[in-house]
Chain A
């Protein structure tokens, strides 16, 4: 009985947590349209966030997805070679990168760079009473801090995912040119023939949702920080762990849905 009660408790807590995330998102959406703060200043803060979240992540995301592209090509070639189907490397890489790994790797990197930073920033502001200071200055902390982060993520995550797709394909291309009998041009043509628009949009929709989830978790963890520097560390850690878990879960749901929808169509 004890065990059942514990499972029930944990379930209730998880549902409440996700409810909290949804509430934060809803509040931000409301404050985006009915913000008491100035619009031009909101835009400034959003651009500032977008630079940190998006542009700052470009080099590391390029590097990682390029390598992932090479790895997928190598790994795929291992099997495809036995079947004598090396020409399928291009389509294998492009489909797995655009539908799955591009958005996923992007969001893991963004969690590490920005999700953790959101939690640490807001958590520190909680500890140093900066959140209270904002409130007494009639600056709603959600409108002031969270809305620009949501906006920046909603714009930058799809952009990063598209860039990651490109770099992943380039990684595959490196193997294709060196290890299989492709030229740069013929590899790109093979990639274009393998992909349909739907593959790319699937990835972009995913990355948008991932971005919103990462922001919500990072900010929520920041706000729930207790007193003391130690608590900021704890918030940052759980922001990263929970974000990764949720992103993978949502990815699973999406992929299943797309798979089922494909079967129907």
Chain B
């Protein structure tokens, strides 16, 4: 389901580079995420996909290049504009990142109470609705530490959904979960996609789930985009590095260097 081409991209990155000390983590990424599409970023550990997510939402400043969300340069815009954008996005962190001193319900209520003028009773109802959406009804009064890993992730989804965001970001939504819970999370993402037509960016290394939920896929390798395109196209790609990742073939050190060189000679798709 491709969005109409004339729509302006919701997120656009241009020649995005990030360095940690003297290590290049992202080496010049250019991509766009269109309105209403689900973009899945896959890649191995250390490929830079989490850094990419952190840079897009402005938690990490790029060393060069720029990221724009709805046209606002997230690294350079004044705090007020960035805050305005951030009220329209939701980010579900890998381990939930729920505020430990607040209950699950209070966590979800937090952005609503801080940023809206809704009555506390209304907020209470909204919290209940959001929790029901992620299958956690009745868990309002638990502390984050009392929840299992899967429940914490779901609670984090509920918090990300609290402000009815236009863009949702997921960091490793199914990492470290059993297959049944992981499938439940995939269903949840598909439901959100169907029901609200939200723009979503999902970072994951779970291939099955990636191809299930993605409209388009970016495959990151060592800070470079080695493949980008509709899910099916990436699945059928014959690029050696893509094949290696999709067919789960371990790195052999010699091939590794050759591949690495080939990556530069073939250029970035």
The docked-state distance in angstroms from the alpha carbon of A113 to that of B120 is: 33
Q: Which of A35-89 contact B (CB under 8 A)?
A: 36-38, 41
The docked-state distance in angstroms from the alpha carbon of A36 to that of B87 is: 12
Q: Which of A130-182 contact B (CB under 8 A)?
A: 130, 132-140
Q: Which residue of A lies closest to B91 (CB)?
A: A136
Q: How far is the CB of A40 from chain B (nearest CB, A)?
A: 10
The docked-state distance in angstroms from the alpha carbon of A133 to that of B54 is: 11
**Do A132 and B111 contact each other (CB < 8 Å), given the known contacts A125-B100, A137-B86?**
no
Q: Which of B86-105 contact A (CB under 8 A)?
A: 86-87, 89, 91, 93-95, 97-101
Query: Which residues of chain A are within 8 angstroms of B115 by Cβ–Cβ distance?
Result: 138
Query: Which residues of chain B are within 8 angstroms of A125 by Cβ–Cβ distance?
Result: 99-100
Q: Is B80 an interface residue (CB 8 A)?
A: yes
Q: How large is the interface on A (under 10, 10 to 19, 20 to 34, 35 or more residues)?
A: 10 to 19
Which of B83, B93, B99 is within 8 Å of A138, CB to CB?
Answer: B83
Q: Is B41 an interface residue (CB 8 A)?
A: no
Q: Is A106 an interface residue (CB 8 A)?
A: no
Q: C-beta contact mask, B97-128 vs A, less than 8 Å → 1, else 0?
A: 11111000000001101110000000000000
Per the CB 8 Å criterion, the residue count for chain B at the interface is 28
Q: Is B57 an interface residue (CB 8 A)?
A: yes
Q: How far is the CB of A100 from chain B (nearest CB, A)?
A: 36
The docked-state distance in angstroms from the alpha carbon of A124 to that of B99 is: 10
Q: How far is the CB of B34 from chain A (nearest CB, A)?
A: 22
Q: Which residue of A lies closest to B88 (CB)?
A: A138
The docked-state distance in angstroms from the alpha carbon of A129 to that of B156 is: 12
Q: Is the CB of B100 within 8 A of A36?
A: no
Q: Is A14 an interface residue (CB 8 A)?
A: no
Q: Is A128 an interface residue (CB 8 A)?
A: yes
Q: Which residue of A lies closest to B107 (CB)?
A: A133
Q: How far is the CB of B26 from chain A (nearest CB, A)?
A: 18
Q: Is the CB of A139 within 8 A of B110?
A: yes
Q: Is the CB of A130 within 8 A of B114?
A: no
Q: Is the CB of B111 within 8 A of A137?
A: yes
Query: Which residues of chain B are within 8 angstroms of A128 by Cβ–Cβ distance?
Result: 95, 97, 100
Q: Is the CB of B114 within 8 A of A129?
A: no
Query: Which residues of chain A are within 8 angstroms of B99 by Cβ–Cβ distance?
Result: 125, 130, 133-134
Q: C-beta contact mask, A109-127 vs B, less than 8 Å → 1, else 0?
A: 0000000000001001100
Q: Is the CB of A129 within 8 A of B97?
A: yes
Q: Is the CB of A132 within 8 A of B86?
A: no
Which of B89, B94, B101, B113 is within 8 Å of A136, CB to CB?
Answer: B89
Q: Is the CB of A129 within 8 A of B95?
A: yes
Pairs A–B under 8 Å by Cβ, sample size 23: A36-B80, A38-B113, A121-B101, A124-B100, A125-B99, A129-B93, A129-B95, A129-B97, A130-B97, A130-B99, A130-B100, A132-B97, A133-B91, A133-B97, A135-B86, A136-B86, A136-B89, A137-B110, A137-B111, A137-B159, A138-B82, A138-B87, A140-B79
New A-B pairs, 11, CB < 8 Å, besides A133-B91, A140-B79:
A41-B113, A121-B101, A125-B99, A125-B100, A130-B97, A133-B159, A136-B57, A137-B111, A137-B163, A138-B115, A139-B111
B residues with CB within 8 A of A: 54, 57-59, 79-80, 82-84, 86-87, 89, 91, 93-95, 97-101, 110-111, 113-115, 159, 163
7 tightest Cβ-Cβ pairs between the two chains A and B: A133-B97, A138-B86, A129-B97, A138-B83, A136-B91, A137-B111, A129-B93
